[in-house]
Amino acid sequence: MNVAASPARPAVATPLDHPAARVLIGRHRLRWWETLPWLAAVGLYFAFPAYLGFGTELLVAILFALALDLALGYAGIITLGHAAFFGTGAYTVGLLAFWGIWTEPISSLVLAGVAAGVVGLLSGLVLLRTRGLTLLMLTICTMALLEQAANMAHDYTGGFDGLPSLPIAPVFGVFEFSPLYDNTQYVYALIVLLICFLLVRTLVYSPFGQSLTGIRENLLRMHAVGSPVRRRLVICYTISAALAGIAGGLWAQTNAYVNLSTFDLDRAATVLIVLILGGYGRLYGAFVGAVAYLALEHFLARIYPTAWQLGLGLLLVLIALFARNGILGLGEALWRRYGGKRAAS
């Protein structure tokens, strides 16, 4: 007895079959070239042990730029006062260590992030009601207020002189922070940066991170589709502030020192320049920008110590005119123009 074959069922499309979903899934995957910055960091440890102090400074700068990039590059929050959170984290670590309250580095670094995150949350609830130039000025005012508060509390913060010779306990009770050798500081800063980077990478490729990009690109449309815009901006601003606080706390621990320069406008402007050089809104823009800025600062200062900012300023003008997406954006454009042609041929 022959039984008629049943017709084949049509394939049912799933949400994962959507082209946008496939693109998003592809972005989550680690690519081979993403290991290059970390391999370079490990190579620096073994190849240039005399430059580990410079390397530690570079890692802190990358973390601070990564924190700013989350708010500015992905959410489009215009700010020039992120040093407020950097300084909050630095002074949290400094006050706890200087007055003998808590010197354990890992937990005090967490406390630095929490303190900066609280400041970011409270200020974000007020500041993020505004946009554009008003928001920019209010972020600067917040930074200036915290700087003056630290200066006025000089009996506890040391005022302009700061808090020197911070007693930082060994990591896990074994690895000491030595003023003569920077091995522990470098490895410690590299591990902290890696953990924070993985957090940011997961966040920006999540649905929450994609909604931040949507807010940056078209605020009115995100309002129209019912997205809780202000709440998500406040959450992003808080996370960004916490990461900046961790960077500040790391700076205080690795230098065993903290002063009012952590709240300075120069520091806030420098981290913005780093993002402009590297390319904001890109995960590795902070890496490329920090390396470019510190390397240029080092070499230009040796060539012309009294006016090295002139060379850096000229480079920024060229970046603004011909590579508005920074060094990474320029590299991507060149790859699409020339690399794509070679692959097609």
Q: Round to the nearest angstrom and report the end-to-end CA distance of the chain.
A: 58
| Residue 34: other Cβ atoms inside 10 A | 13
CA 257-261-265 angle, 5° bins: 155
pLDDT (0 to 100) of residue 192: 97
| CA atoms of 50 and 222, how far apart (whole Å) | 51
Residues near 246 by beta carbon (within 8 Å), at least 6 away in sequence: 63, 67, 89, 109, 112, 113, 116, 192, 196
pLDDT (0 to 100) of residue 264: 92
| CA atoms of 121 and 268, how far apart (whole Å) | 19
CA-to-CA dists, residue 99 to 91, 107, 156, 163, 255, angstroms: 12, 16, 9, 10, 17
SS3 163: strand
pLDDT (0 to 100) of residue 1: 47
For the chain, what's the residue count?
345
Tell me which residue has tokens 């510190």: 294
- How far from chain centre, in Å, is Cα 42? 20
| CA atoms of 204 and 197, how far apart (whole Å) | 11
pLDDT along the chain (345 residues), means of 10: 51 54 60 88 93 93 96 93 96 95 95 97 95 93 95 92 92 84 91 96 93 90 89 96 97 94 93 90 91 86 80 81 80 72 54
CA-to-CA dists, residue 113 to 79, 92, 107, 196, angstroms: 19, 9, 10, 11
pLDDT (0 to 100) of residue 338: 75
Torsion from C-alpha of 40, 69, 325, 227, nearest 10 degrees: 130
Tokens of 74: 């992905």
| Beta carbons of 115 and 88 less than 8 angstroms apart | yes
SS3 258: strand
Backbone angles phi, psi at 258, to 5 degrees: -150, 140
Tell me which residue has tokens 């499309």: 13
Tokens of 176: 């000491």
| Residue 324: other Cβ atoms inside 10 A | 11
